[in-house]
Homo-oligomer: A and B are copies of this chain.
Amino acid sequence: MSQQIDQVRAVIWQEGELKLLDQRLLPLQQRYIACEDVMAVADGIRDMVVRGAPAIGVAAGYGVAIAVAACYKANPNGWRQALEADLTRLAEARPTAVNLCWAIKRMRAVITTLEGDPRQAVIDEACRIDAEDLAANHRMGELGAALIEQRCALMTHCNAGALATAGYGTALGVIRAAHAADKVSQVYADETRPWMQGSRLTAWELLQDGIPVTLLADGAAAHLMKQGEVKWLIVGADRIAANGDVANKIGTYHAAISARHHGVKVMVVAPTSTIDMSLETGEQIPLEVRSEEELLAFNGQQVAASGAKAWNPVFDVTPAGLVDAIVTERGVVLQPNMEKMAVLMAG
């Protein structure tokens, strides 16, 4: 277990305190923010102190535990009622990653069964979500790496790594496992505008593991694929609909279209907590649009012409038809569609 403990952790629960690695400061600074109440957790999710669908889910689990403790302390008899407002505000922190609501729903399921002091039970459940996510990532790493038939270059978009999960990563978990199996000649990472998750987070993570990584502008993806070295585009997901449509960081859909054009296969790596069977297709997934300032300025420095407008959708939907494999901890779905996804989720 020492290897896992040594790794970067975006979300730490230690001695009854939740700490979130402030990913806005990476790679220049590594600083954790302690969350003393559930609103601090909601703020941390909304402001992207913590990001990445599974990590948001893990943080939300602990956030609920913190809320329960506070509500119970304030009113040991009426705590459930006060809790509702907290859970609503937590759920509204970000719209696209379904893991947020999934974690709250799971915590709520435990809460409804509790009698007496609920505090230890909710902490235990939050810790289970955390541990299960880490285990799922290791399992997905094995399953995804097994799909890579020959040593080749891999491409990824955004950061679906240890920083986006309980640890090890989804897409980067597969890349880690493939690298360990000597299947990776090079990892290419889109810098991932506007938030630069590729440059700031993915490169940082992979360098710490000694995995060769080369950054490129998002627009260079097709030109890279044309060179023929890249055989797989491997990404995470923020929400997967019942038909296998995948919401993920803006640019994923663009890259997936170019991947198909060049015969590069597309692998989506996500735990089943990211699959939302209540939505028939990706068209129904709420896609967050963030402030245009993220495009118009950089670290507070004006970039664009004064008066320019910007459109800043931060997620897009890649239709299942462009996806070659969805890798989950329960197994792999090749050429996903509604029937295959239903079989996976029933299994």
A217 and B251 contacting across the interface, CB-CB below 8 Å: yes
Q: Is A200 in the interface zone, CB < 8 Å from B?
A: yes
Known contacts A296-B199, A305-B27: A254-B311 contact under CB 8 Å = no
Determine which of B188, B203, B303 lies in contact with A311 in the assembled complex, contact meaning CB atoms within 8 Å: B188
Determine which of B200, B207, B309 lies in contact with A214 in the assembled complex, contact meaning CB atoms within 8 Å: B309
Q: Is A301 in the interface zone, CB < 8 Å from B?
A: yes
Q: Is A250 in the interface zone, CB < 8 Å from B?
A: yes
Within 8 A of B (CB), among A178-193: 188, 190-193
Determine which of B200, B219, B252 lies in contact with A254 in the assembled complex, contact meaning CB atoms within 8 Å: B219
A295 and B254 contacting across the interface, CB-CB below 8 Å: no
Determine which of B203, B219, B292, B311 lies in contact with A308 in the assembled complex, contact meaning CB atoms within 8 Å: B203
CB neighbours (8 Å) of A26 from chain B are 305
Q: How far is the CA of A224 from the CA of B207 in the complex (A)?
A: 33
Closest to A316 in B: B223
Q: Which of A37-45, A255-263, A328-336 contacts B (4 or more CB under 8 A)?
A: A255-263
CB neighbours (8 Å) of A307 from chain B are 207
B215 and A295 contacting across the interface, CB-CB below 8 Å: yes
> Considering residues A217, A301, A302, which has the most beta carbons from chain B within 10 angstroms of its beta carbon?
A217
CB neighbours (8 Å) of A296 from chain B are 199, 215
Q: How far is the CA of A258 from the CA of B322 in the complex (A)?
A: 13
Interface size class of A (residues with CB under 8 A): 35 or more
A254 and B223 contacting across the interface, CB-CB below 8 Å: yes
Q: Is A304 in the interface zone, CB < 8 Å from B?
A: yes
B316 and A215 contacting across the interface, CB-CB below 8 Å: no
Q: How far is the CA of A310 from the CA of B216 in the complex (A)?
A: 6
Copies of this chain, complex-wide, total 2
CB neighbours (8 Å) of A190 from chain B are 219
Q: How far is the CA of A301 from the CA of B28 in the complex (A)?
A: 10
B218 and A295 contacting across the interface, CB-CB below 8 Å: no
A213 and B253 contacting across the interface, CB-CB below 8 Å: no
Q: How far is the CA of A209 from the CA of B206 in the complex (A)?
A: 46
A218 and B216 contacting across the interface, CB-CB below 8 Å: no
A257 and B257 contacting across the interface, CB-CB below 8 Å: yes
A287-301 CB mask vs B (1 if < 8 Å, else 0) is 000001001101101
A193 and B193 contacting across the interface, CB-CB below 8 Å: yes
B220 and A254 contacting across the interface, CB-CB below 8 Å: yes
Q: How far is the CA of A51 from the CA of B234 in the complex (A)?
A: 35
Q: How far is the CA of A217 from the CA of B194 in the complex (A)?
A: 7
A219 and B193 contacting across the interface, CB-CB below 8 Å: yes
Not counting A199-B303, A199-B305, a sample of 9 additional A-B residue pairs whose C-beta atoms are within 8 angstroms of each other reads A26-B305, A27-B304, A200-B303, A215-B295, A215-B296, A218-B254, A219-B252, A222-B257, A223-B250
A-B contacts, 25 of them at CB < 8 A, read A28-B302, A190-B219, A191-B295, A192-B219, A193-B218, A196-B303, A199-B295, A199-B304, A203-B304, A207-B307, A207-B308, A215-B304, A215-B309, A215-B310, A217-B218, A218-B218, A219-B255, A220-B251, A220-B313, A223-B313, A223-B317, A224-B311, A254-B258, A298-B299, A298-B301
Chain A contacts to B: CB under 8 angstroms: 26-28, 157, 188, 190-194, 196, 199-200, 203-204, 207, 212-224, 226, 250-255, 257-258, 261, 292, 295-296, 298-299, 301-313, 316-317
